[in-house]
Amino acid sequence: MDTPSLRVLLVEDDPALLLNLGQQLRRLGHEVFEATTSQQAWRVFLDKTPQLILLDVLLPDNDGFWLSKQVRAHEGRHWTPILFLSALVQEDDLLRGIQAGGDDYLFKPVSPTVLAAKLHALSRQIRMRDELEQAKLTLVELNEQLRHKSLHDELTDLGNRRGFDERLQDYVAQARRDQRPLTVLLCDVDFFKRYNDRLGHIEGDACLRHIGEILKQVCRRPLDYAARYGGEEFVLLLPNTPAEGGLTFAMALQHALDRDGRYHPDSAVASHVTLSGGFVSLIPDGSTTPGSLVQQADEALYEAKARGRYRFVNLSACMDTGDLSTAPRILNPTPRVA
């Protein structure tokens, strides 16, 4: 009978029995921690986290039932098998042991064969428990991965449309409760179709990934959120951000793209990749819906394109980064396209 090695806490106040059982356990290949009182056993239990407890019932201080209850209360969902050892041979004692959280009972004197057999059976239970725990952890992990996948865009690892819809709903509700401003910024890569046509879709994908990285960098605050809205459109949620903050953010984003200077072979507004964006900043009231916010941001985005692209516009606050930007605006000698 091959029983895997276990870390066993042996609690026995009779020195001769302690010696004898300790030897038996070690001979079976187990690692043994010894204790002669329940208080000592409790400290060893906390310190060594044994896989199995061999527990005498009658001890000089609290009895084994007390220790068993302590262990069960402390462990919560975890479970360390407890094997009671006792000279008490009444059925009631056995019942008390099981009620106190014990798993089995061995009557003294303990036969080496019976001890080996019980340990073997318990180690099988421990293994099954560990396998179940492992399977549970794997499931939790897989679930987490699935959830991540369902809410994230595969190309950029930003949020996806579904993740955005969820987050927007939460943020609108939170902003309404706190009476704090929320900024929604919708943006679009300028002349992205031409970029794709000239450089191919693989380069196009690389460009979107790159913009995703820049968006992650500019979303510095923990609750700022960026998602790919679809195609070459991105959307940002900036909680606790009034229009002035939205403008500062848009300027920073525009400067980040200017500094980055990723080459665009066929843009009518610059020689590098740029964005047009529309944003709206407000404290949601009873009539504000997630849809109405996106619509306002979309109208502002439309206006940004109409005004010549390469800018961020907030219609209700009359803001336009195109009028404020200090970056050289036209780097390509191609005509501007409205």
Give the footprint of Mg ion on this chain (CB under 5 A): 13, 56, 58
Q: Give min distance, CB of 55 to Mg ion, in A.
A: 10
**Residue 64 vs 290, nearer CB to Mg ion:** 64
The angle subtended at Cα 81 by Cα 76 and Cα 83, nearest 5°, is: 135
Distance between CA atoms of residues 296 and 155, nearest Å: 27
332 and 267 in contact (C-beta within 8 Å)?
yes
Q: Give min distance, CB of 65 to Mg ion, in A.
A: 12
Alpha helices by DSSP H, listed for 200-315, are: 201-218, 243-260, 290-306
**Residue 58 vs 146, nearer CB to Mg ion:** 58
**Residue 10 vs 186, nearer CB to Mg ion:** 10
Which residues on neighbouring strands pair with residue 159, listed in sequence order? 152, 227
Interhelix angle 38-48/64-75, rounded to 10 degrees, is: 30
Distance between CA atoms of residues 332 and 265, nearest Å: 9
- Alpha-carbon 163 to chain mean position: 15
Longest dimension (CA), the chain: 100
Q: Give min distance, CB of 110 to Mg ion, in A.
A: 13
Q: Give min distance, CB of 108 to Mg ion, in A.
A: 9
Q: Give min distance, CB of 58 to Mg ion, in A.
A: 4
Q: Give min distance, CB of 14 to Mg ion, in A.
A: 6
Who contacts 288 (Cβ-Cβ below 8 Å, separation ≥6)? 172, 176, 282
Q: Give min distance, CB of 13 to Mg ion, in A.
A: 4
189 and 207 in contact (C-beta within 8 Å)?
yes
**Residue 13 vs 260, nearer CB to Mg ion:** 13
**Residue 13 vs 244, nearer CB to Mg ion:** 13
**Residue 71 vs 313, nearer CB to Mg ion:** 71
Who contacts 16 (Cβ-Cβ below 8 Å, separation ≥6)? none
Q: Which tokens hold the place of 29?
A: 């290949």
Please identify the residue of the shown chain whose CB is closest to the bound Mg ion. 58
**Residue 65 vs 312, nearer CB to Mg ion:** 65
